[in-house]
Structure 1
Amino acid sequence: MTERTARSYVLDKPKGTFVLGDYEVPDPAPGSVLMKIELCGVCGTDVHTWQSEVETFEYPVSLGHEIVGTVEALGKGVATDYIGKPLKEGDRIGVIPAIHCHKCYFCTIAKTPEKCIDWKTYGTWPNADKKPYFTGGYGDYLYIHDPNSVFVKMDASPERGVFLEPMAIVVHSMLHAKIEPGDTVVVNGAGPIGLLTVGHAKIAGASKVIAIGRKNRLRLGLAEKMGADVTVCHTDVPEQKDRADFVFENSLNGYGADVVINTVGTAAGFAQSLDYVRDSGTVVEVGNFVDSGTMEFNPCKHLLEKGIKLIGSFDNEAEHYVRGLPIIADERLPLLDIITHTIPMGRLQESLTAIKDGTKLDGKEIVKIVLDPTL
């Protein structure tokens, strides 16, 4: 009997090459699911992993973690998704890439499984050229084989479903933000996470949303489509003091933003966010998922005198995915407009390079790239 093979990318080393290989497609073991990938979002986090100077993983690794697809085959004993919805072949599912142990202190006592000490991730799987294969989103299949894996059934289209993982990041930050009616919310940064944050903030009840971006006017235009009442471009308002004054003048209370959510992945972006918040307001930090350096911070002036809440929102977990399902399905959010490029498998490294260098792809500004393995 001839074995069936399919394609999957692995990254051979830090700052290395994405190698597309053919691997044996497994028959799912009991408790496992074989997913046929429809789309995988190309994320800036993968650029950071690719460009890492440190051998954090056992290479080669599989990347790609914003994954949506359909059930190709169910292993024995799998009849439902994580929340008990009946599951059959052909159903569309989203997988939570982070796998938590459900046993450690953070999973069970602290109730913050995103800080699990024994975590693994589909999308940074070590020794990915060895069985079980298909452990990342840049391929034809994902083999959901770990017994602690979480996946959820969805009715949304694949183009909406591919946003479930980044939306779960946003849901997590929103649970920290505790937005109330009448609030002015500043979203600092207009990348994909910033745009999703704008949309979620509006749905969550923010009365005014101000989106701030550096120079990409396409992204700020999308922020308006996602629900921003006001947008600010650094090019138009180059001085930080003027931007802060603008926020205060345009806040509904006249004292600054009630909530600021920073989605900019730089220390400078975080520092700017502190200038926008009112006294006794809330700043939620999302953008600095990897170490981008340091900044000057005065505990008295920046924190104590202002009496602000400063919260770090790291990654996501199962609750955030379940809460995110109805949000990605909400037609008020024009999610498909965020996708600027849909690429075939052969253009992965080219696309990641364009994100890294901040250049256009095919003559177009990049907002969100998704990989479609069927192209």
Structure 2
Amino acid sequence: MNETARAAIVTGVAGDVEIRSYDLPRPGPGEFVLEVELCGMCGTDAHIYRGRLDSVRFPALLGHEIVGRLTVLGEGVRADHAGRPIEVGDRVGVFPALSCGRCYQCTVRGRPGSCPERRPSYGFASPADRPPYLTGGFATHLYASNAGTVFYRTDLDPAVAVLQEPLSVALHGLERSRVRIGSTVVVQGVGAIGLMAVVAARAAGAARIVAVGRPPVRLELAAALGADEVVDIDRVTDPARRAHAVRDALGESRGADAVIGTAGSPAAFTEAIGLVADGGTLAELGNFTDRGTVPFNPFSDLLKRDITIAGVYGAGPDMQRRYHSALTLLQRGGLPFDQVVSHRVPLSGARRALEALGGDYRLDDREIVKLAIDPRA
């Protein structure tokens, strides 16, 4: 194992990204060090980079979709969260959050995200200029300093294993949307989480799935992952015409039983409400940070139509179960998961990737489907 590690540190809001070196720590009881193979970059990272998440202070080490190989194990680290034996060299996927599992929020309310003893999540712990260092995935190594960190051993290719975290978020949205066998589903937005929502809806037994978004490369992948029809928002630009196109694709003039919103804009949220059938559910995942307000009529938009609007924040309650379920789905295979990561970016390219993800969604003259930081590149 190298004596030092390197990390891509965001120095300020939309600021420089510096490659800094750190001594590798010696893990304590319940801790470990991981050599990062890939770390997914998602829209949340781009929002943090632009200063849209107040809880993260700069300088910051981002990256919470982490896959790598165990290099040093602290005392007592002998098995993954499923109880399977592990050893140095094993590939694992790391869940970024950790709660105590004992308090009222964890055991009675089932809300580990509200745990008063919850440790700072990997990729969100900040600022990065004080110890513990190396607590994000945009680095050559991760120091899993939260004793008892949830991780699972896997033989999946890193480009597939890195989808565990976004798929766990999609599974949360699926559960809140109440999709069941025979449901009609609209997935709004075909970024990585939207694509994973298509996978989740198909696995849950949805009868018909329509994916709405752009560009064609992501829509084609949505179809390959299980969408029955796609609607390209660049070709159907008028929202009223687009709603008609979605209903035609569903074969249902009344709208969808469930809409899973992953597009991440207030305007898309308003449009999503109009796609839900009376009595149906909108699960909103995309507006993870404050992007503004929308006009909303509680009577005509909600009560009269008897619809349910569910807010979905990350992997949510029972997050460790969803992370394991995501791994199970990925291991089952049968779908082109290996096509989701479209770009592998070295640490030195982190700023360029963050700018592209928050901009025109193009990098190296290609449309982005899913970005991943490859510290070994």
Q: With structure 2 as the length reference, what TM-score do the two structures score?
A: 0.94
Aligned to 1:352: 354
Could you tell me which residue of structure 1 aligns to residue 299 of structure 2? 300
CA separation in 1, counterparts of 2:305 and 2:189?
23
Alpha-carbon distance, 1:297 to partner: 0.6
Residue of structure 1 in register with 2:146 after alignment? 146
- Once the two structures are superposed, residues 322-373 of structure 1 have per-residue CA deviations (whole angstroms, 9 ceiling, x without a partner) of 1111112232221221221111121111111111221521111111111111
Aligned to 2:107: 108
Secondary structure in structure 2 of the residue aligned to 1:370: strand
Aligned to 1:325: 327
Query: 1:25/1:248 Cα in 2 relative to 1: closer, same or farther (>3 Å)?
Result: same
1:251 to 2:250 alignment = yes
Quote the offset at 1:104 in angstroms. 4.5
2:344 is matched with which residue?
342
CA distance in 2: counterparts of 1:187 and 1:325, whole angstroms: 21
- Deviations along 1:147-173, whole A, 9 cap, x unmatched? 242212223221111111111101111
1-side partners of 2:262 and 2:184: how far apart?
Answer: 17
User: Equivalents in 1 of 2:242, 2:252: separation in Å?
Assistant: 17
Q: 2:92 matched to which residue of 1?
A: 93
Change (3 A) 1:258 1:42: same
* Aligned residue number for residue 285 of structure 1: 284
Q: Deviations over 1:210-264 (max 9, x none)?
A: 0011x41111111111111111112222222222223333335542101100001
> Counterpart of 1:240 in structure 2: which amino acid?
P
Change (3 A) 1:56 1:203: closer
Point out the more displaced range, 318-327 or 351-360.
Answer: 351-360
Measure, in 1, the Cα distance between the counterparts of 2:111 and 2:306. Answer: 25
CA distance in 2, matches of 1:367, 1:250: 23
- Equivalent residue of 1:209, what SS? strand
Q: What's the offset of the Cα at 1:132?
A: 2.6
Shift of 1:44: 1.5
The answer to whether the 8 Å contact 1:81/1:151 transfers is yes
- The Cα shift of 1:313 comes to 1.1
Q: 2-side partners of 1:274 and 1:55: how far apart?
A: 28
Q: How does 1:220-235 map to 2 (within 5 A)?
A: 220-235=219-234
Correspondence for 1:134: 134
Q: Distance in 2 between matches of 1:343 and 1:241?
A: 39
SS of 1:210's equivalent? strand
CA-CA distance at 1:83 after TM superposition:
2.1
- Contact in 2 for aligned 1:114/1:315 (Cα 8 Å): no
Where 1:39 maps in the other structure, the secondary structure is strand
Kept in 2, the 8 Å contact 1:185–1:209? The answer is yes
Distance 1:199 1:239 in 2: 28
Instruction: Give the Cα–Cα distance (whole angstroms) in 2 for the partners of residues 256 and 313 of structure 1.
Output: 21
Deviating runs (4+, > 4 A) in structure 1? none
The separation in 1 between residues aligned to 2:145 and 2:97, in whole angstroms, is 13
Q: Which residue of 2 aligns with 1:164?
A: 164
How far apart are the structure 1 equivalents of 2:24 and 2:273?
A: 50
| 9-18 or 53-62, larger mean C-alpha shift | 53-62
Deviations 1:62-91 (A, max 9, x none): 111110011111111111111211111111
Contact preservation (8 Å) 1:3, 1:24: no
Structure 2: which amino acid aligns with 1:114? Answer: G
Q: Distance in 2 between matches of 1:240 and 1:46?
A: 29
Report how far residue 106 of structure 1 moved.
2.8
Question: Using the alignment, how far apart are the partners of 1:235 and 1:44 within structure 2?
Answer: 20
Map 1:1-375 → 2, pairs under 5 A: 4-52=3-51, 56-119=55-118, 120-213=120-213, 215-316=214-315, 317-375=319-377
Partners in 2 of 1:56 and 1:16 — Cα distance? 17
The answer (yes or no) to whether the contact 1:68–1:162 under 8 Å persists in 2 is: yes
1:321 partner letter: Y
Opposite residue 349 of structure 2, the aligned amino acid is R
User: Match of 2:62, SS?
Assistant: coil
Q: Is the 8 A contact 2:215 2:234 kept in 1?
A: no
Over residues 118-171 of structure 1, what are the superposed CA-to-partner deviations in whole Å (9 max), with x where a residue is unaligned?
431110212323333211001111111212422122232211111111111011
Q: What stretches of structure 2 of length at least 5 have no aligned partner?
A: none
Kindly provide the amino acid, as one letter, of the partner of residue 187 in structure 2: V
Instruction: Please give the TM-score of this superposition, normalised by the length of structure 1.
Output: 0.94
Report SS of the residue matched to 1:357: coil
* Equivalent position amino acid for 1:155 in 2: D
Specify the SS of the correspondent of 1:282: strand
What is the Cα deviation at residue 295 of structure 1? 0.5
Please state how far the C-alpha of 1:300 moved relative to its aligned partner. 0.7
Q: Which amino acid aligns with 2:211?
A: A
What letter is aligned with 2:358?
Answer: K
The 10-residue stretch of structure 1 (49-58 or 291-300) with the greater mean CA deviation from structure 2? 49-58
Contact 2:343 2:370 in 1 (8 A): yes
Identity percentage over the alignment? 37
Per-residue CA shift, 1:166-199, capped at 9, x if unaligned? 1110111112223222211000111111111112
Partner SS for 2:258: strand
Which consecutive unaligned segments of at least 5 residues does structure 1 have?
Answer: none
- Conserved in 2, the CA contact under 8 Å of 1:271 and 1:295? yes
